[in-house]
Amino acid sequence: MNAARPLVLMSGVGAVGAYFGGRLAAAGQAELRVICRSDYEEVAAHGYSIASPNGDFHFQPSRVYRSAAECADAPDYLIITSKVLPGINQPAIVGPAVGPHTTLVLIQNGIDIEKDLARAFPHNELISGIAYVGVTRIAPGKIVHTDGGTLKFGRYPQGESESCRKLTALFNAAQVGTEYHTDMQRIRWEKLLWNAPFNPVSVLLRANTSQIMNDPKTVELIRTLMHEIIALAAADGWPLPEDNIDKLLKYTAGFRPYKPSMLIDFEHGRPMEVEAIVGNALAAGERLGVATPGLKTIYALLQYWQKNTAVTAQP
Amino acid sequence: MNAARPLVLMSGVGAVGAYFGGRLAAAGQAELRVICRSDYEEVAAHGYSIASPNGDFHFQPSRVYRSAAECADAPDYLIITSKVLPGINQPAIVGPAVGPHTTLVLIQNGIDIEKDLARAFPHNELISGIAYVGVTRIAPGKIVHTDGGTLKFGRYPQGESESCRKLTALFNAAQVGTEYHTDMQRIRWEKLLWNAPFNPVSVLLRANTSQIMNDPKTVELIRTLMHEIIALAAADGWPLPEDNIDKLLKYTAGFRPYKPSMLIDFEHGRPMEVEAIVGNALAAGERLGVATPGLKTIYALLQYWQKNTAVTAQP
């Protein structure tokens, strides 16, 4: 690694990638390059404009590539911020840019989403990351930041990592509150505890968080689904305190009306992270022998909408 | 009872009531009167017109009442064919017309829907009935019959009934294939085995039976919900053969695309029989100690739509 100024290559740069990449670039301690397929023309010419309540900012990557193969220099960090969708061969997409000392970094939702990369690059360090941020891409290269903007990182599957510590420090030096963890799978289950109930239910009811929280019977459903996630996490070796449920419900009840990302994707006819957020949890249940009847029901309904939305709305 | 020509009073006459009442009237072996609130003017003036693939027919009740209190003669049979919805006080609606020898008859969907009447009229015979018919009210007094047209009757809660035999004979003499049963609760569970899965899922997916049956994962969901109904029925004392599930699925796969009644109600912004078909099944589960996690999930979602459809669509 170029200790003074590491090279960071980002892949699957949507709103999340542009926001965090932009912060990192603005701090000047890393060189930021991006692989950008769909918005290539706009981003190569003008970079990303990020409107934020903390002050608008601009992110001009030092290089913009159409594919990983165009990047001749092996990056110190290769950060993937795409949505997690079936049929995307992530190792094939980033593979050409991965050098022997490249640390792979995922900033993505869901559970059990690291396996393909871990299997494809067994000798590279892999960092699992989660973002807590409200950002939306409103046009090519145009990003709106509304809420949050923090990260949690940890080595996959667990344990200490010098490389991860350095990445955490880089982000913290760039106005991004970032936590270093040695137990990222616990952190993933904690985030799934909110995501797995609220995202699907919001889609199935076309309801924001306030509408869900205002109906005692839908709150009870959310609670049931949360209990299933807690059971899964415990069987996976990450027992979460039961009172996380009450805390999360109380926290969510305090939101202004908020549309989970899956509902926004649904409303725009975009693919939803059904498998990463629900399907993989069910698979964990099968593997660990944990019953997940509520999640299974939600999943069956949601995957139908996924297919039927995709059919009608995708180009 | 006037053995030669019994007096039949019908209450809650929508499409189902008009169809079967019309058949009975046409056969001439009973006098048919109706209580008809919302369509009173039209029905009093012109009766019901029923378009049917078996030949259109007309049903002119001998009397049309706005309320039960207007009927001075205690009927031999008081047949209720309204939808089963919460907040409707059925005993209060029909009570003024019930004489000491009146047999009460329900032709309605759902499970555990007889209790209010049984409690209110403990000395009257109560017949529980289910219709198998596709009929739609397209305008006041205008009914379209598309499919089926049979009935099953039995004494509530079970056992033999001379009055029920006579009613069965009346309908059979009126071109309505009607079965007499001594175990109507079994028949109700059998019908619920189809209704409780397909009606809610069709609403939650805005899907007809073909769309549901073409997706292996939604079929699997239907199967899971059917297993829960079978467990409930067994605990209630009515074990149904497990292979009913495969038979029903095969039968449904053979339908032309068909919208369950709950989906049609939903699309028209009308109240759905959520409680009679799902809520009462959950209550049975609570009472009998049978887990119904899939149905609970479906119910929580459906009751949200019930409320939100009703809010936006009801006058």
Mean pLDDT, consecutive 10-residue stretches, chain B (315 aa), reads 82 96 97 94 97 97 97 97 93 97 97 97 98 93 95 97 98 97 97 98 97 98 98 98 97 93 93 97 98 98 90 37
Nearest Cα to Cα of residue B264 among B148, B137, B110, B150: B137
Amino acid letter for position B302: L
In the listed set B145, B166, B182, which residue is the last one of a domain according to the structure?
Answer: B182
With vertex at residue A196, the alpha carbon angle to CA A194 and CA A199, rounded to the nearest 5 degrees, is 85
Rg (Cα) of chain B, in Å, rounded? 19
Q: Are B181 and B88 in contact (CB under 8 A)?
A: no
* Of residues A204, A215, A221, nearest to B204 (C-beta): A204
**Which run of H or E residues covers position A19?**
helix A15-27
Q: How far is CA A305 from CA A204, B201, B232, B268, in A?
A: 8, 12, 29, 21
Q: How far is A34 from chain B (nearest CA, A)?
A: 38
Supply the pLDDT for residue A38: 86
In the listed set A163, A182, A201, which residue is the last one of a domain according to the structure?
Answer: A182
**Is some CB atom of chain B closer than 8 A to the CB atom of A223?**
no
Q: Are A296 and A229 in contact (CB under 8 A)?
A: no
How large is the ipTM? 0.91
- Residues in chain A with CB shorter than 8 Å from the CB of B224 are 293, 296-297
**C-alpha dihedral, B119 to B120 to B123 to B124, nearest 10°:** -110
For residue A203, is it within any domain? yes
- Residues in chain B with CB shorter than 8 Å from the CB of A217 are 299-300, 303-304
Supply the pLDDT for residue A100: 97
Q: What total of structural domains would you count in chain B?
A: 2
Do the chains contact at A298 and B299, CB–CB below 8 Å?
Answer: no
Does residue B177 sit in the same domain as residue B37? Answer: yes
Using CA atoms, how far apart are residues B43 and B152, in angstroms rounded to an integer? 27
Does residue B164 sit in the same domain as residue B125? Answer: yes
Q: How far is B297 from chain A (nearest CA, A)?
A: 6
Distance of CA A139 to the CA centre of its chain: 20
User: What CATH number has the domain bearing residue A214?
Assistant: 1.10.1040.10
**Is some CB atom of chain A closer than 8 A to the CB atom of B310?**
no
Q: How far is B280 from chain A (nearest CA, A)?
A: 15
Does residue A141 sit in the same domain as residue A159? Answer: yes
Does residue A97 sit in the same domain as residue A222? Answer: no
* Of residues B217, B220, B301, nearest to A205 (C-beta): B301
- Residues in chain B with CB shorter than 8 Å from the CB of A309 are none
Does residue B153 sit in the same domain as residue B197? Answer: no
Supply the pLDDT for residue B62: 97
User: What CATH number has the domain bearing residue B137?
Assistant: 3.40.50.720
Does residue B153 sit in the same domain as residue B195? Answer: no
**Total count of residues recorded for chain A:** 315
**Is some CB atom of chain B closer than 8 A to the CB atom of A201?**
yes
**Structure token pair of residue B302:** 């459906």
Using CA atoms, how far apart are residues A237 and A23, in angstroms rounded to an integer? 35
* Of residues A297, A303, A307, nearest to B298 (C-beta): A297
Do the chains contact at A307 and B215, CB–CB below 8 Å?
Answer: yes
Q: How far is B276 from chain A (nearest CA, A)?
A: 17
Supply the pLDDT for residue A315: 30
Does residue B106 sit in the same domain as residue B137? Answer: yes
Tell the burial category of A27 from Cβ atoms under 10 Å away from its Cβ (0-12, 13-18, 19+).
Answer: middle
**Structure token pair of residue B186:** 């079994």
Does residue B269 sit in the same domain as residue B251? Answer: yes
**Structure token pair of residue A130:** 């989660």
Q: How far is A207 from chain B (nearest CA, A)?
A: 10
* Of residues B224, B299, B301, nearest to A204 (C-beta): B301
For residue A313, is it within any domain? no
Does residue A16 sit in the same domain as residue A143? Answer: yes
Using CA atoms, how far apart are residues A286 and A303, in angstroms rounded to an integer? 18
The HSE-up count of residue B297 (CA atoms within 13 Å, CB side) is 32
For residue B41, is it within any domain? yes
Supply the pLDDT for residue A157: 95
For residue A312, is it within any domain? no
Supply the pLDDT for residue A312: 43
Q: Mutate which of B209, B212, B217, B299 to test chain A, going by most A C-beta atoms within 10 A? A: B217
Q: Which position has the token pair 């072996």?
A: B29
Does residue B40 sit in the same domain as residue B127? Answer: yes
For residue B1, is it within any domain? no
Print the domain residue range for A147.
7-182
For residue A314, is it within any domain? no
**Structure token pair of residue A96:** 């050409």
Cβ neighbours, 10 Å, residue B114: 21
Does residue A303 sit in the same domain as residue A243? Answer: yes
In the listed set B117, B148, B182, which residue is the last one of a domain according to the structure?
Answer: B182
**Which run of H or E residues covers position A179?**
strand A178-181
Supply the pLDDT for residue B152: 98
Q: How far is CA B115 from CA A30, B89, B127, in A?
A: 73, 12, 12
For residue B177, is it within any domain? yes
Residues of chain A whose pLDDT is less than 50?
Answer: 311-315
For residue A38, is it within any domain? yes
Does residue B147 sit in the same domain as residue B290? Answer: no
